[in-house]
Amino acid sequence: KGSHRQGISGVEVLRAGLKMTELNPRPFVGSENQGYNLSSRFCMPVPPYVNSNGIWQFIGKAGNHPWDASLPRLELQIIVAFAVTHACHFVLKRFGIPMIASQITGGLILGQAIPGLNRYYKHVLFSDTSLGTLDLVATFGYILFQFLTGVKMDVSMIQKTGKKSLFTGLLTLLIPFLLGAAALEKMSRILGIGMEDKMKLWVVTVVHSLSRFPSIACLVSDLRIINSELGRLGLSCALVSEMIGLILTRSAIWIASIYHAPLHSAYRNLGIMVVYLLAVVFVVRPAMLWVVKQTPEGKPVNSLHIHNIIMLALGAGYISDLFGQHVYFGPFVFGLAVPAGPPLGSALVEKLDPMVSGLFIPLVVTSASMRTNLSDIKLLDDNLAKSTAVIVAVVVLAKVATTMIPPLYCKVPKRDAFALALIMSTKGIVEISTYNISRNIESLTDQMFSFLTVEILVTAIIIPILVKFLYDPSRKYAGYQKRNIMQHSKASGELRILACIYRPDNIPAIIKFLQASCPKRGSLVTVYVLHLIDLRGRAAPLFISHKMQKKTVSNRSYSENVILSFKLFEEKNWGTACVYPFTAISPPKLMHEDVCMLALDKLASIVVLPFHRKWFIDGSIESDDNTKRALNCSVLERAPCSVGILIDRGRIGRFISSELSLGSSFRVAMIFLGGSDDREALTLAKRMSQNTSINLTVFRFIVKTDEMISTNWEKVLDSEVLKEVKPENNFNQRVKYVVEMVNEGQETLAKIQSVVPKYDLVIVGRRDNTETPQTSGLDRCREFPELGIVGNCLVTEDLPGRYSVLVVQQQQTTV
């Protein structure tokens, strides 16, 4: 027999776990061992039986099993837990319910919640004593999770938080806590609850009053609204609430230690904590910045630095245990010292996150919820459970009501304000882990823990469904009136273009297109440049508006090269072009939200997107980025204005070294088949022809039989937009109008093949799902549906030349 001290000291648990294979998670509380130091007695083999010699040695031997050894049993527990959890998620994900609900449900199934489980399964595979090793692994994983949480958080963003987020984050913490405390005192007087049970209710009040950043970040990420206006607001409020709650809870823990420990010990712990915090600020943070400075741009961080940081983060847990704080506090604060994002923050996240999110976090939630017993929940019979339910109801209702006040005062729509209130009320892994720890140290009863676990499960199911119903970020992109070049950009008026940059080699082609779109005099081109960067090593997305006139070469920036390139373009086109650069750091699958939001906010007439494929100088394919292709397709579906996809085959970038002038000529061809997309493309081409360096040729393809599928009204609109380029009305010698007679698609393709190689840029309409005789028989040109039939034919390798292509689509999202 041996003994082990189990309690708040997580380091002691880890140290003891190396020496034992059996740990009783329900310790016996002796009269001399009250508070955090709980004692348990158990039996264990010496030396511990960790590894088995294989399954074959047990065949035919009664009473022996491979999982008598702790390691095979742990592996089998993990496999069973993952199988049950993913089976639950396979069903629940069809209703939009996040993974956390499936993990809790899996724990309920595997635990004691369902009576009548097989005795062999219950007492051998998941016996109380065997769960100690599983808890140890989960504890280690939760330490790494807290460290990564600190890494992903950018505390400096609090300084940039607006008043709406600041007041919402503050009120959503303080008001629910005060009302919950009032409800606690009232219930204590009515039901005669003693001081010991009253302290348990204080735990519930504090934990439920907090809005934890990891839980909210996980929810908005699962709902795919992390970079929407509501998602950004929720993360900002959660960051404020997290930091305030961290200060208050750590202060409360230290104040409580004064009453449960000698005074000199409490002040010693305070001194050690202050020294640790100062060391993190003045030693660890500069060291992290030094690592970033020593890493060449575009190169990975030295793996030795990564491993040292991880080991120091684990050591920080031991240090925090020394000064009376929880073992998770030290790694979290240590993670805050790591600069968020590339290169260091993203390297740590890429190294640890797959293991933490894929293995440890499911084990943390599942192993905690396995302790839930639904038969323990008796709200009517137990005063403590009844008080818990009342306090939770008061805190949740107060949080919902309080969160809505600042947004409504700032004229936020009621549906969005209510959705934000629900987001701020969500609970997740942090809360269920906190309650599990409180239960282990008997700061919560089994009944309270079971009720709170079920409450977290219910909110995890209901809140995502309600938020999806209340908030759809794409609905604001649809308008009652189309915004495009034809209707909102007169020939002599302002043209607003949103140009997106995915990688540095997109810059030359975009700038060349903008140069061609800038007239030499008269109208103005306003360019909003959006540099899109993948979200790596951060929990919250960023949207940065750069002030170019205040930017210098010495200042570091996420988009330094982009800013300098477009600043030079603006200087060369002074008086005809005005540039406003932005940077969006967000998940690749949600980048279209940033594009559409900026286009809507700036009333852009057209969004220009680079094509996802890149070619070598000899015309062969260099790379394909399917993530950017999906982004282009999403923008085409949702954009609040016209969209152009720019395919750079090399020739358009030839002229980037010099500005277009009277001495240089840029040849543009516009292929017109008819329809709204072609009319939009022609309008853009006519505007480009105002530049004295542009030579424009409009090719109109007409069926010889004059049988067109378009309606008569479509013919009238086509004729109206073509009127200005026809010879009888055209006084611009640099604009030519050519009519080509064809019978079917192959003739059209042959004509295009013969004329376009001599041009630098070819402009076409997308004409998606539009069938006409001019394109009949060209169904094989469907490799890229986002380009339309003609656009596909122009980018295929069968056609000679290195011309570039702009595929234009008129706005589709209208009410």
Q: What is the pLDDT of residue 798?
A: 64
Q: What is the pLDDT of residue 520?
A: 66
The answer on 533 and 615 residing in a single domain is yes
> Please, what sign has the CA dihedral across residues 468, 471, 477, 480?
positive
**pLDDT average, residue stretch 99-122:** 75
What average pLDDT does the structure give for the chain? 81
pLDDT at 392 exceeding the cut of 90: yes
pLDDT at 658 exceeding the cut of 80: no
Of the pLDDT bands very low, low, confident and very high (cuts 50, 70, 90), residue 770 is confident
pLDDT digits (tens, 9 = 90+) for 587-606: 999 999 999 999 988 989 99
Six token digits for residue 472: 């759809």
Query: Which range, of 105-119, 571-585, 747-761, averages the lowest pLDDT?
Result: 105-119
Q: What is the pLDDT of residue 19?
A: 38
The answer on 800 and 691 residing in a single domain is yes
Residue 319 lies in a domain: no
Of the pLDDT bands very low, low, confident and very high (cuts 50, 70, 90), residue 17 is very low
Residue 383 lies in a domain: yes
Query: Which range, of 253-262, 465-474, 656-665, averages the lowest pLDDT?
Result: 656-665
pLDDT digits (tens, 9 = 90+) for 325-359: 788 889 999 999 999 888 898 899 999 999 998 89
Q: What is the pLDDT of residue 40?
A: 47
- Identify the bridge partners of residue 749 per DSSP, sorted by sequence position: none
Please classify residue 665 by burial: count the beta carbons closer than 10 Å to its beta carbon, then call 0-12 exposed, 13-18 middle and 19+ buried: middle
Q: What is the pLDDT of residue 480?
A: 46
Q: What is the pLDDT of residue 333?
A: 93
Of the pLDDT bands very low, low, confident and very high (cuts 50, 70, 90), residue 689 is confident
Question: How many structural domains does the chain have?
Answer: 2
Q: What is the pLDDT of residue 307?
A: 93
Query: Which range, of 114-128, 213-227, 737-751, averages the lowest pLDDT?
Result: 114-128
The answer on 749 and 624 residing in a single domain is yes
The answer on 400 and 494 residing in a single domain is no
Tell which of 443, 471, 499 closes a domain.
Answer: 471
The answer on 151 and 186 residing in a single domain is yes
Q: Which residue has the higher pLDDT, 111 or 39?
A: 111
Q: What is the pLDDT of residue 3?
A: 38
Residue 705 lies in a domain: yes
Q: What is the pLDDT of residue 634?
A: 92
pLDDT at 302 exceeding the cut of 60: yes
* CA–CA distance, 180 with 172 (Å, rounded to integer): 12
Task: Count Cβ atoms below 10 Å from residue 159 Cβ, excluding itself.
Answer: 6
Please classify residue 633 by burial: count the beta carbons closer than 10 Å to its beta carbon, then call 0-12 exposed, 13-18 middle and 19+ buried: middle
| Residue 311 one-letter amino acid | M
Query: Which range, of 140-144, 320-324, 357-361, 694-698, averages the lowest pLDDT?
Result: 320-324
The answer on 506 and 463 residing in a single domain is no
pLDDT at 651 exceeding the cut of 50: yes
Q: Which residue has the higher pLDDT, 681 or 130?
A: 681
Residues with Cβ within 8 Å of residue 596, at least 6 apart in sequence: 474, 477, 635, 638, 639, 640
Tell which of 442, 471, 500 closes a domain.
Answer: 471
**pLDDT average, residue stretch 209-216:** 91
For residue 506, what are the domain limits? Answer: 485-809
**pLDDT average, residue stretch 681-690:** 89
Q: What is the pLDDT of residue 120?
A: 59
- Give the 3-state secondary structure percentages of the chain, helix then strand then coil, rounded to 5: 55, 10, 30
**pLDDT average, residue stretch 554-582:** 81
pLDDT at 396 exceeding the cut of 60: yes
Residue 78 lies in a domain: no
Q: What is the pLDDT of residue 45?
A: 63
Q: What is the pLDDT of residue 650?
A: 65
Distances (CA, A) of 718 to 59, 495, 678, 701, 745: 83, 22, 9, 12, 20
Q: What percent of the chain is modeled with pLDDT above 90?
A: 30
Angle formed at CA 329 by CA 316 and CA 271, multiple of 5 degrees: 75
pLDDT at 799 exceeding the cut of 80: no
Angle formed at CA 156 by CA 151 and CA 158, multiple of 5 degrees: 110
DSSP per-residue letters across 528-587 = EEEEEEE--S-SS-EEEE--GGG--TTS--TTHHHHHHHHHHHHHTBTTEEEEEEEEEE-
Nearest Cα to Cα of residue 626 among 594, 681, 588, 573: 588
Q: What is the pLDDT of residue 31?
A: 32
Q: Which residue has the higher pLDDT, 3 or 84?
A: 84
Residue 251 lies in a domain: yes
Of the pLDDT bands very low, low, confident and very high (cuts 50, 70, 90), residue 284 is very high
pLDDT at 656 exceeding the cut of 70: no
pLDDT at 812 exceeding the cut of 80: no
The answer on 752 and 650 residing in a single domain is yes
Q: What is the pLDDT of residue 33?
A: 34
Tell which of 471, 499, 534 closes a domain.
Answer: 471
The answer on 518 and 653 residing in a single domain is yes
Residue 446 lies in a domain: yes
pLDDT digits (tens, 9 = 90+) for 780-796: 677 888 988 888 888 87
Nearest Cα to Cα of residue 172 among 251, 97, 233: 233
The answer on 501 and 377 residing in a single domain is no
The answer on 520 and 451 residing in a single domain is no
pLDDT digits (tens, 9 = 90+) for 157-194: 877 777 778 888 888 999 999 999 999 999 888 888 88
Chain center to CA of 109 = 31
* CA–CA distance, 271 with 199 (Å, rounded to integer): 26
Nearest Cα to Cα of residue 801 among 762, 748, 756: 756
The answer on 612 and 562 residing in a single domain is yes
* CA–CA distance, 169 with 242 (Å, rounded to integer): 9
Of the pLDDT bands very low, low, confident and very high (cuts 50, 70, 90), residue 259 is low
CATH code of the domain in which 539 resides = 3.40.50.12370
Of the pLDDT bands very low, low, confident and very high (cuts 50, 70, 90), residue 16 is very low
Q: What is the pLDDT of residue 768?
A: 77
Q: b or e along 467-502 (b: 16 or more beta carbons within 10 Å of the residue's beta carbon)?
A: beebbebeeebeeeebbbbbebbeeeeebbbbbbbb
Angle formed at CA 151 by CA 148 and CA 156, multiple of 5 degrees: 150
The answer on 494 and 456 residing in a single domain is no
pLDDT at 35 exceeding the cut of 60: no
Residue 502 lies in a domain: yes
Task: Count Cβ atoms below 10 Å from residue 51 Cβ, excluding itself.
Answer: 10
pLDDT at 288 exceeding the cut of 50: yes
Q: What is the pLDDT of residue 581?
A: 92
CATH code of the domain in which 419 resides = 1.20.1530.20
Of the pLDDT bands very low, low, confident and very high (cuts 50, 70, 90), residue 377 is confident
Q: What percent of the chain is modeled with pLDDT above 70?
A: 81
* CA–CA distance, 812 with 352 (Å, rounded to integer): 42
**pLDDT average, residue stretch 411-434:** 91
Residue 299 lies in a domain: no
Q: What is the pLDDT of residue 747?
A: 86
Of the pLDDT bands very low, low, confident and very high (cuts 50, 70, 90), residue 664 is low
Q: What is the pLDDT of residue 313?
A: 93
47 preceded by a cis bond (ω within 30 of 0): yes
**pLDDT average, residue stretch 634-656:** 79
Helix/strand/coil (H, E, C) string of 432-451? HHHHHHHHHCCCCCHHHHHH
